[in-house]
Amino acid sequence: MPIYPLYALLFVDSGLSDLQISLLFALWSAVGVVFEVPSGVLADRFSRRGCLVAGDLVRAVGFAAWVLLPEFAGFAVGFVLWGIGSSLASGAQEALLYDGLVAAGAKEHYAVVNGRVSAAELTSQLPAAAAGTVLFSLGGYALAGWVSVGVALAAAVLAARIPEAPRVGEDDADDDEGDDLGYLATLRVGLREAAARPGVRAVLVAVMAVAAFDAVEEYFPLAVASWGVPVAWVPIVDLPIVLAGVLGAALAGLVNRLGAGAIGALLAAAMLLLGGAGLLAHPAGVAAVALFYGIYRAIVVVCDARLQDRIASRSRATVTSVAGLGTDLVSFAIYAAWVVGEVVALAVLGLLVAAVLPRLLRSRPSAPTPGSAPLPGGDVPGGG
């Protein structure tokens, strides 16, 4: 989306304060809190592919609101719609991919494949950054916004062509619900999966805490601009950060082989790099931010893979949406940290997460979940 690298700057140029911008991001997360789990249940009950299509359509309307009403109220409407669209896709996308790999007999490759999917998503930011720079020069924020509307509509068309595999590998905990669960029964089974299955809860918390730091990406343009980079060049200067994220996500399969302690140490190192960049407050700090982001993106994929290995197919989108709900709640702490101390405060918060991450990832299920694979990197009985 060409508007991605520009929208935070759009808010600033429209006269919004740091507090108003953080309030918009908080509203975005609040919408996720409300819609995350209900949309995951919709995906499990009806169609995961259909939720992806609907999500893109809703986002397109949200971008249009930004262009038509470039003030706080219009930006708020856009974020509400964007939040709904993201909730529809959250959980549905991971479930669609994992069960598709199960159907193909390749479930053990989920971390690698999902890492490549994440890398592809990040790679799309490269042409978006270039397009954002060109479109901003030709027609300002409005042109970048309308092109983003068109891209979202095109994404909906492509999502409608994704094949959807049948639900597989149900366990005996779900058998008494029948083969065709209603909406409330689907919700009940999914929540029970998230809350009661041994080994799920701790990893669920790990996903929530780690994934919440993805909100840091929203502040990259503001940080880079505050370090002395002209607005028109911010999308280009952000490119090394995006490229590092692509590489990190692509290498997630290798990181997934590590033990929980090593993963926690990696996250701590990444947060130290982020904090160092904030203290430097110079364009050269982009290099440290890039290293941070590459490591971070790999760890996000790994945490998700270890969660997917522990949950059953029928409830996959619902449980993943529960993780998304928690992520949205933790994101409020990210927004608050930015208001308090910007990049440095975010790094301090990240170090706290890194300290508890090994304990969360070492949690073991009492028995393998049908349709799942043994956990690598010391997360099997007897592992280090």
> What is the DSSP code string of 283-335?
GGGHHHHHHHHHHHHHHHHHHHHHHHTTS-GGGHHHHHHHHHHHHHHHHHHHH
Structure tokens at 379: 């997360």
Nearest in space to 197 (alpha carbons), one of 318, 328, 39, 96: 318
- How far is 229 from 82, CA to CA, in rounded Å? 28
Residue 196 has a pLDDT of: 60
The pLDDT of residue 186 is 61
Q: CA of 189: how far to CAs of 183, 223, 303, 311, 337, in Å? A: 10, 43, 22, 11, 35
The amino acid that residue 57 corresponds to is L
State both tokens at 117: 């999917």
Domain ranges of the chain: 7-361
Each residue's pLDDT, cut to its tens digit, for the chain (384 residues) gives 888 878 888 888 888 887 888 888 888 878 877 887 788 778 877 788 888 999 999 999 999 999 999 899 999 999 999 989 988 887 788 888 888 888 888 877 888 888 888 788 777 777 887 888 888 889 989 999 999 999 999 999 999 888 887 765 544 444 444 445 565 666 666 666 665 666 777 888 898 889 988 888 878 888 888 888 777 777 777 788 888 988 998 888 888 888 989 999 999 999 999 999 888 888 888 889 999 999 999 999 999 888 887 776 677 777 777 787 788 788 888 888 888 888 889 999 999 999 999 988 876 554 444 444 444 444 333 333
Q: What is the DSSP letter of 108?
A: G
pLDDT of residue 192: 66
Q: Closest Cα to residue 250, out of 64, 118, 55?
A: 118
Using alpha carbons, list the distances in angstroms from residue 43 to 46, 59, 70, 94, 319: 5, 18, 33, 11, 11
The H-assigned helical ranges of the chain are: 7-13, 18-45, 48-68, 72-89, 92-103, 110-123, 125-159, 172-175, 183-196, 200-211, 220-226, 234-237, 239-250, 252-255, 260-280, 286-308, 316-361
For residue 362, what pLDDT is reported? 78
| Separation of alpha carbons 48 and 52, rounded Å | 7
In the prediction, which pLDDT does 106 show? Answer: 82
Identify the CATH class of 7-361.
Answer: mainly alpha
Name, in order, each residue with C-beta under 8 angstroms of 307's C-beta and a sequence gap of 6 or more. Answer: 200, 203, 204, 206, 207, 319, 320, 323
246 burial type by CB count under 10 A (0-12 exposed, 13-18 middle, 19+ buried): buried
Reading the block at residue 136, the tokens are: 């901003």
Q: What is the pLDDT of residue 351?
A: 93
CA atoms within 13 A on the CB side of 27: 17
329 with 29: CB under 8 angstroms? Answer: yes
pLDDT for the residue 198: 62
Contact predicate 382/376, CB 8 Å: no
The pLDDT value recorded for residue 150 is 93
- By the 8 A CB rule, do 299 and 266 touch? yes
pLDDT score at 324: 79
Rounded-to-integer distance, Cα 74 and Cα 330, Å: 25
